[in-house]
Each structure stands twice: as C-alpha cells, then as structure tokens.
Amino acid sequence: MSLPDLFISKPGVTFPGAPVDNAETIRRVRAKFKGTDKQFATVAAAIERVFGLCKTRQRYLETDTSGRVADYAVTAAKQCLEANGSSAEEVDLVIFGGIARQYFEPATAMEVAAKLGIKKTHAFDVTAACVGHLEAMQAATAYMMLHESYRTALVCTSELSRHYLSYDIQSARELHMKSAGLTVGNAAACVLLRRSPFPGGGIRLLAIDTITVPDHWHLCQVPVDGTLFSSSVELMRLGKLIPPWIHERLAALGMKAGDIDHFVFHQPSEIMVRKLLEDTGVDPEKGVYTHSIYGNTASASVGVTYRQLLEERTVRPGDKIVLGSAASGLSIVMATGEWSGEPSGGAHG
C-alpha cells in the first residue's frame, strides 16, 4: 500500500537541567562506592574506557525533581509549532512516544494536549523503548491513512531518567550491566506530521518500516520499581541484523544505501552508529552524531539528531534522508523520505 502525501516537520527540541560531564558522573559513582580509593581506581578506569569507546563527554540531566515529563514535551511541542508556522488548533492527533512516565494512566499525550490548549483531539501513547518516537510517527501515519479527516498529527517524546539510573557500581564486573545508564541524557523532541508541505522545509515521507526480533527482550530492561540494566555487548552484536534489513527496505523503494544523503540514527554511542554505517556500505560521514554533546537521549535522540542535521548542514530539496532507531526488544524502525521545500539553513553543505 502506497503512502498518501505526508510530510514531517522540522523538530522542536529541549533539554532539562544542565550538562553533566564525565568527571561529575564518575564522582557520583564514587559517592556510592563502598570500597577503598585503590579499589575504585579500577572501576573508574573501566568507566573511562566506556566513555572513550562511546565518545561520551556530557549529557543533560534534570535537576528539578518536580519537573514533569509532559511539561518538557509541551516545551518541545511549542518550539516545533512555532518553527513550522503552525498552531495547536490545527492538531487532530497527539501521540506521545517516550519511555518515561509519571503515571500508568491516563496517556501522557492527554496531559500534553491539555497543556497545549487543545480542547478536542485524539490523544494516546506508544511505548516501544528507544524506537518510541519513530513508532509513534508510524502510528500517526497509519491513523492518517485510516482517517482522511485527520490533517495534522503532533508526535512527541520526553525522557526524564530520574531514579532509573544507577550510580551504585561496586566492581568493574557490575559495570557490564550498568555502563549504558552512565551515558544516558534527558531530552524532549517533537515533530508534526501533516498532509501538506511545510513552506520552511520538511521531509516528504516515502516509507516507514518496523521489524521486531523479540527473543532478545531480556537483554535491556527498566523494571517498574528498579533501575536500568543493559547487556551492551550482546546488544551490540545484534547490530549485524540491521544492515541487511536497511538494504531490504530501501530496495523496496528502488533505492540503495548509497542513494541516501543523510542518516539520522538513534545515538547509543558514536562508535556504534559509525560501525553500522560502515557495515551498511555507507560513508560514515553521511551520519549525524550527537552522542558526545547530549549522550544517549533514548527515544528523543532521533529528534535531537534531526535538529543537529538541520543546524550543521544545508539540506537541499530532493536530498534523501533516513531516520532510524533500534531499541531493546530488539525493535528497529526506519523512516525514509526526501527533503521538500526550502533548503535548511545549515552551517555548511
């Protein structure tokens, strides 16, 4: 089934709190450490190796414990609406695709919509780990194909890590399952999906695809009453599943990986994204990298990196763009499109 004309807007993005650098992160681990300084030196060295491999430098973490997940999503949504010359009154559909939440019901999208002043709409959440924002875009696409009356969807995500990050690491061995949490940063992102082009430029959606390999669901979890753990080494090995699938989905569009001008991927680490592109047979410089600036912002990282693309490059009409993410599960989502409208105002081409 071919897609109707649908366009993804420029994103709105916001970050809570202030940047936390590597040294501060290690200090937080030291404050929880029960052993001696000599014993901690081994743990600290292991953490430094992880940071070096990931090219992690800093990440934003909320400092206001009263801050709400929905409030950051609202801020990103307002930025998105303003940047694209749109208003909340145009929105027919609101979908929240984040991991973080402060209650099981109602949908966080309800709070977002209410705080945007939307009086009547269709609002719900999509929960799919780090692919949540892209999965929410896919859900919006499906609803707009089903309901011709829906003209504009607001698709947002917001990540606040709160107590789900653990600095309680007592050995280098324990770091194996907790290192990913030390690179996590917080952010919120929002895009609009609508039937008409955005005059200031946007992505005309050509396809959006998903695949899930559920046998690996146990490798990365955030328990309801616990903290994040992730078997990062095993998850990295699963990266071998992604390049063949990218080739398959692009081939269905009559494209090759080399035809894509810009790859905007989820940012678990820079080295992982570069390797993925190399394994796909693509020049890694076609990728956009934000991990060193913002860390792993989970479901918000595609929106964050999409904004970075528009800030650092001139994206021209007809440029082919892939938005992609993989997440614990294992789930993979890829949206393929081409730039429509005015060139982006990036720093260089």
**Distance (Å, whole) CA 137 – CA 210:** 11
The mean pLDDT of the chain is 94
Task: Please report the pLDDT score of residue 229 as a whole number.
Answer: 83
Residues 277-313: pLDDT tens digits?
A: 999 999 999 999 999 999 999 999 999 999 999 999 9
Q: Which two tokens stand for residue 293?
A: 């600036």
For the chain, domain boundaries? 202-340
- Would you state the pLDDT for residue 237? 83
Longest dimension (CA), the chain: 66
pLDDT digits (tens, 9 = 90+) for 311-344: 999 999 999 999 999 998 899 999 999 999 989 8
Q: Which residues contact 147 (CB under 8 A, 6 or more apart)?
A: none
Q: Residue 349's pLDDT band (boundaries 50, 70, 90)?
A: very low
Q: What is the pLDDT of residue 196?
A: 96
| Distance from C-alpha of 315 to C-alpha of 19, rounded to nearest angstrom | 28
* Residue 322, pLDDT score: 98
Average pLDDT of the segment spanning 159-178: 91
Tell me the whole-structure pTM to 2 decimals: 0.95
Backbone angles phi, psi at 153, to 5 degrees: -115, 140
Q: What pLDDT is recorded for position 280? A: 97
CATH class of 202-340: alpha beta
Is pLDDT of 348 > 50?
A: no
Whether 266 and 334 have beta carbons less than 8 Å apart is answered as: no
